[in-house]
Amino acid sequence: MDERLPSMTTAISTAPIQPPVQPVGVEAINHALQTMPQSPGVYRMLGPKGDVLYVGKALNLKKRVTSYTHVSRLTERLRRMVSETRGMEIVTTHTEAEALLLEANYIKRMQPRYNILLRDDKSYPWIMLTDKHDFPQISKHRGKPVKGASYWGPFASAWSVNQTLNLLQRTFLLRSCSDSEMQGRTRPCLLHQIHRCAAPCTDRISRADYAELAGQARDFLAGRNPHMREQLGREMEEAAGALEFERAAAIRDRIRGLSALQQDSSVINPSTMTDADIIAIWQIAGQSCIQVFFIRAGRNNGNRAFFPAHARDENAPDVLAAFIGQFYDDKPPPAHVLVNQDLPELDVLESALSLRRGRRVEITHPRRGEKRAVIEHAEINAREALERRMAESAGQARLLQGVADLFGLDAPPRRIETYDNSHIQGANAYGVMVVGGPEGFDKRAYRKFSIKGPVTPGDDFAMMREVLERRFRRALKDREEGVRPGDWPDILLIDGGAGQYTAVRGVLDELGVTGVTLVGIAKGPDRDAGREWFHTEGRAPFQLPPRDPVLYYLQRLRDEAHRFAITTHRAGRSRTLVRSELDDIPGVGPARKRALLKHFGSARGVRQAGLGELEHAPGINRDMARAIYGYFHPDWTGE
């Protein structure tokens, strides 16, 4: 070693390095305030693991966040939130309306536990009419809109849109089949026979006449041409006068369909409004129900009840305002929104919805007249829905208390997980988990497990082992980190007897899963419902009285898991069965496959097509056409 170099040992400190202390509570907020701008924006309170505790918006971020440092002025809920805060994040916006839209989007995505939450995970159906086709198709649509089509809605439920769609088909005789189905037809389908389609697939109607029907449908859906029924009446009389009785009868059927469409489906249908949502909230004992009625083009598109999650001390105007912001996060609002409360920051909410729609949106709280009557009707629906839910919850609470008493739990279970699997001789094997609790079946928590390991036909133990290992390895990690504590089950229910119970018990012991009551439910003699045997730790197998409500409840959990397993297996098997031989052609991906099927009508049509026909197919170049033709004709030399 070169003696001119300094000794390295003298440069190393033996004192342990202390990590920086993370600020907590008000100290963390004050730390964030040092760089907080005085501009509109959204702020997020962060917990110990970086999880979002709360999302809020403000016209002046610094002024709004400063209010959280005055702990004595806060409610108990907000004081608890501040005590858990470890940091803050902000996003600035140009206006307070933009901040409100961003806040609603964050709340829906992040689900902070201190916010008022709209738990709405469903998409709403629309009626779609294609534009870029000689014979436009009318159908139900969910999800993102696609180009080349017009949309009307939303509808509150699939039942509402299906009922309207059926009447539209009766009235305007538009096709509902896909383009490929239409091209492959050689004779009319059943819908033509029952007078719900004009059968353009077999040239039973001219392009010009079909275009007239499609235009009438567009006018009706948009609320135009209110005198359509009178026009059809005159056409029917002219046809009858000319002794064209079949045509007159067809027009008569269309008039009946139009009359059914124009009938009010509910008291809620204000004649003075053609495009509006009617939203009413009702509160009982700290719980809320919000009813939404959709009015479009003067027609009632149905209604739906929502039960937002919030603290028991939240007042109705605040809950309703938060609901409206989140409700319209992923859908355009109508021109008018009728509510039954005076909302806080109404101007900001109206500006945000107008920004979301691209045109003015007006929120009103009617005090008299027809609009007040429809709001009162919505209130009645909200109250009755909330009363039904509370009655069901009370009954559910009694059942869960009975489950706790039966299996020796200290308190009613908050989460019961039930497992089952389904396969046919080891093929398309799936395991499933369904979840029950105080709110009934929690379908958002259901899980599907596609079995990845090699499965010996009939080896249900191996399938269950894989499902439980995948379920609990992640859950154990989350539990150690304090993430998603509500995902830990109180009871694990499996469909099986002593053998299945012992196998699952071994898997849980290997994984180190504790604090979970394992229960096996075995079918009785001759698989009779009501004579099941139950297996659990520390007790001999036992049965319950045939009419015991707890027995019925446990049967429902088992049967729901079985139903979900069968449905999942069938869906997976269907995807395998619809696999086309086109999938095996190198270079043919999903887009080219769709183009080929649309152009030729079926995989058989592609197989029988000549080389020249393939070269002229959309999206298929010469080299790709030769590859496809060569695949179906292995003896072809390419000349």
Q: Are 254 and 170 in contact (CB under 8 A)?
A: yes
For position 483, what pLDDT does the model report? 55
Sign of CA dihedral 577, 581, 584, 589: negative
Given a cut of 70, is residue 617 above it in pLDDT? yes
**Helices 245-262/158-172 angle, 10° precision:** 150
Q: Which range has the top average pLDDT, 499-503, 528-532, 588-592?
A: 499-503
Return the minimum-mean-pLDDT range out of 351-365, 435-449, 515-529. 515-529
> What does the pLDDT read at residue 268?
54
The pTM (predicted TM-score) of the whole model is 0.70
Report the C-alpha dihedral over residues 621, 624, 629, 631, rounded to 10 degrees: -170
Is pLDDT at 362 greater than 90 in this prediction?
yes
Amino acid at 518: L
Q: Locate 341 and state its tokens.
A: 């409360």
How many angstroms separate the CA atoms of 118 and 153, rounded? Answer: 21
> What would the pLDDT profile of 310-353 be if each residue is shown by its tens digit?
988 899 999 999 999 999 988 889 999 999 999 999 999 999 99
Q: Taking a C-beta distance cutoff of 8 angstroms, is the pair 419, 472 a contact?
A: no
Q: Does domain 276-388 match CATH 3.30.465?
A: no
Average pLDDT score over residue span 187-212: 88
Tell me if 276-388 shares its fold with 416-565: yes
**CA distances for 173 relative to 29, 204, 214, 251, 401, angstroms:** 64, 12, 9, 11, 56
pLDDT for res 401: 93
Question: Has residue 384 got a pLDDT over 70?
Answer: yes
Tokens (6 digits) for 219: 């006018």
What pLDDT, on the 0 to 100 scale, is given for residue 21? Answer: 63
Residue 4 pLDDT greater than 60, yes or no: no
**Are 329 and 108 a contacting pair, CB within 8 Å?**
yes
The residues spanned by each domain of the chain are 26-115, 126-264, 276-388, 416-565, 590-632
Nearest CA among 366, 362, 327 for reference residue 347: 362
Average pLDDT of the residues in 269-293: 86
Percent of the chain with pLDDT over 70: 86
**7-21, 258-272, 301-315, 527-541: which has the minimum mean pLDDT?**
7-21
What pLDDT score does 331 carry? 87
The string of pLDDT tens digits covering residues 550-574 is 998 999 999 999 898 888 877 776 6
Compute the mean pLDDT over every residue in the chain, rounded to the nearest whole number: 83
Q: For strand 336-339 and strand 275-284, is the pairing parallel, antiparallel, or unpaired?
A: parallel
- Say yes or no to pLDDT of 126 above 50: yes
Rounded to 5 degrees, what angle do the CA atoms 183, 186, 188 make?
95
Q: What is the pLDDT of residue 499?
A: 85
> Residue range 593-609: average pLDDT?
79
Assign a CATH topology to domain 416-565.
Answer: Nucleotidyltransferase; domain 5 (3.30.420)
CA–CA dist 560, 566 (Å, integer): 10
Number of C-beta neighbours around residue 99 at 10 A = 25
Strands 149-152, 275-284: pairing is: unpaired
Q: Say which residue the tokens 């990590």 belong to.
A: 19
CA distances from 2 to 5, 7, 9 (A): 6, 10, 15
Chain centre distance of CA 149: 23
Q: CB count, 10 Å around CB of 449?
A: 21
Which CATH number is associated with domain 26-115?
A: 3.40.1440.10
Q: How confident is the model at residue 639 (pLDDT cuts 50, 70, 90)?
A: low
Inform me whether the pLDDT recorded for 223 exceeds 80.
no
Instruction: Supply the pLDDT for residue 92.
Output: 93
Instruction: Specify the pairing of strand 336-339 against strand 362-364.
Output: parallel
Cis peptide before 154 (omega within 30 of 0): yes
**What's the CA gap between 108 and 116, in Å, rounded?**
10
DSSP codes, 58-97 = ESSHHHHHHGGG-GGGS-HHHHHHHHH--EEEEEE-SSHH
Query: Can you give the pLDDT at residue 14?
Result: 44
Identify whether the C-beta of residue 340 lies closer than 8 Å to the C-beta of residue 280.
Answer: yes
Digit-coded pLDDT (tens) for 428-467: 778 889 999 988 888 888 988 887 766 665 567 778 888 8
C-alpha 314 chain-centroid distance: 26
